[in-house]
């Protein structure tokens, strides 16, 4: 199949974050997310990262795994290959058992050379249905999981830094959980072009006063003192972008309720469209969603844009039809 035959754009830009499918449409799923304020990249699932540069792979700082079926985790080794000398811990989030899964992959290789403080290591966070997050470390040369305690109630947050908060929900994929993720950039305070004064150091004070709801704060603007509140009409809060990543799940009401709760109102939702609706019996048997049901839950969740991805290989000659089925359901057609 010619990837160019798919009509949707594989690069989806937002002001604060950008998300890009790092795999071709007919390859196993891998989503790259980058944020303006983050030095490192975020990666969702490790299918085939054929559309990532070596630098992008080396600069992955956190990996978010939905589940460890081969088409979602087979590329973990290839990402690791380009990170061996990064000298930092890579965050690895996913379902229970992930630490042992990653450990087995690392132990499949021979580690007989000397290693210094530039060696790669992993901080694993296993996300449990009861809200617990178990912590493990994986280090060269043994790579066996070392327990590092747990967070009794993480409040549904898998990861957080200054650029993004990553929330999660566990969906049913047969007898195993599949983790859905939502990336949220924080709200930013912005200055409108209508600002009537020449910007200067005082602008920081204006922003701080606006965020603190302190209109009486005195500012020195163009050599004169004025209350910050006099300029509040030229300031606004810009909500951070929200990007959802929802992979393998049975398209039933229980999973749909969890998806809506996690991804409601998201700017973009990357979601599996594994089967066509005409093959719903197979979808039910294999605990997957159909393109139509994924489009329907995206519409019900009120997301602004749905990006169907992760298709069964049976549709390689007609991926466009699968995409159109999802988009039609999203539009309510």
Q: How far is CA 294 from the centre of its chain?
A: 18
Give the position of tokens 């992008």. Answer: 56
188-191 and 306-309 as β-strands: parallel, antiparallel, unpaired?
unpaired
Give me the pLDDT at residue 245, please: 98
Burial class (CB in 10 A: 0-12, 13-18, 19+), 62: buried
Whole-number Cα distances in Å, 305 to 146, 263, 330, 331:
41, 11, 9, 10
| pLDDT (tens place) for every residue of the chain, 333 residues total | 333 333 333 333 334 789 999 999 999 999 999 998 899 999 999 999 999 999 999 999 999 999 999 999 999 999 999 999 999 999 999 999 999 999 999 999 999 887 778 899 999 999 999 999 999 999 999 999 999 999 998 999 999 999 999 999 999 999 999 999 999 998 888 899 999 999 999 999 999 999 999 999 999 998 899 999 999 999 998 888 999 999 999 999 999 999 999 999 999 999 999 999 999 999 999 999 999 999 999 999 999 999 999 999 999 999 999 999 999 999 998
Give me the pLDDT at residue 226, please: 92
* Entry field: residues in the chain: 333
Q: Which residues pair with 135 in a beta bridge?
A: 125
Give me the pLDDT at residue 2, please: 33
* Model pTM above 0.85: yes
Q: Are 206 and 231 in contact (CB under 8 A)?
A: yes
Give me the pLDDT at residue 287, please: 97
Q: What is the pLDDT of residues 174-207, one digit of tens each?
A: 999 999 999 999 888 889 999 999 999 999 999 9
Buried b (16+ CB within 10 A) or exposed e, 149-187: eeeeebebebbebebbbbbbbbbbbeebbbbbbbbbbee
Minimal CA–CA distance to 227: which of 195, 196, 199, 205?
Answer: 205
Give me the pLDDT at residue 10, please: 32
Domain ranges of the chain: 10-155, 188-238
Q: Are 331 and 299 in contact (CB under 8 A)?
A: yes
């Amino acid at each position: 199949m010619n990837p160019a035959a798919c009509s949707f754009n594989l690069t989806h830009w937002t002001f604060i974050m950008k998300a890009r499918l790092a795999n071709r449409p007919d390859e196993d799923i891998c989503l790259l997310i980058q944020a303006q304020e983050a030095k490192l990249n975020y990666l969702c699932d490790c299918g085939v990262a054929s559309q990532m540069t070596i630098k992008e792979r080396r600069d992955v700082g956190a990996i978010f795994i939905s589940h460890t079926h081969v088409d979602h985790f087979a590329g973990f080794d290839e990402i690791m290959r380009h990170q061996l000398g990064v000298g930092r811990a890579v965050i690895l989030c996913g379902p229970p058992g992930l630490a042992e899964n990653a450990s087995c992959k690392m132990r499949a290789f021979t580690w007989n050379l000397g290693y210094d403080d530039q060696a790669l290591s992993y901080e694993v966070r296993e996300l449990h249905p009861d809200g617990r997050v178990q912590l493990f470390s994986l280090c060269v040369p043994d790579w066996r999981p070392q327990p590092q305690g747990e967070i009794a109630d993480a409040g549904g947050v898998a990861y957080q830094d200054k650029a993004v908060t990553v929330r999660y929900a566990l969906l049913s994929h047969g007898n195993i959980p599949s983790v859905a993720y939502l990336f949220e950039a924080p709200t930013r305070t912005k200055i409108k072009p209508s600002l009537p004064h020449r910007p200067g150091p005082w602008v920081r004070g204006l922003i701080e006063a606006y965020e603190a709801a302190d209109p009486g704060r005195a500012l020195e603007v163009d050599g004169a003192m004025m209350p910050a509140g006099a300029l509040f009409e030229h300031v606004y809060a810009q909500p951070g972008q929200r990007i959802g990543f929802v992979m393998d799940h049975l398209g039933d009401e229980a999973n749909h309720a969890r998806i809506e709760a996690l991804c409601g109102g998201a700017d973009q939702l990357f979601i599996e469209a594994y089967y066509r609706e005409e093959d719903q019996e197979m979808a039910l048997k294999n605990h997957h969603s159909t393109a139509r049901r994924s489009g329907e839950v995206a519409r019900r969740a009120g997301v602004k844009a749905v990006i169907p991805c992760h298709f069964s290989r049976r549709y390689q000659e007609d991926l466009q039809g699968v995409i159109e089925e999802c988009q039609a359901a999203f539009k309510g057609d």
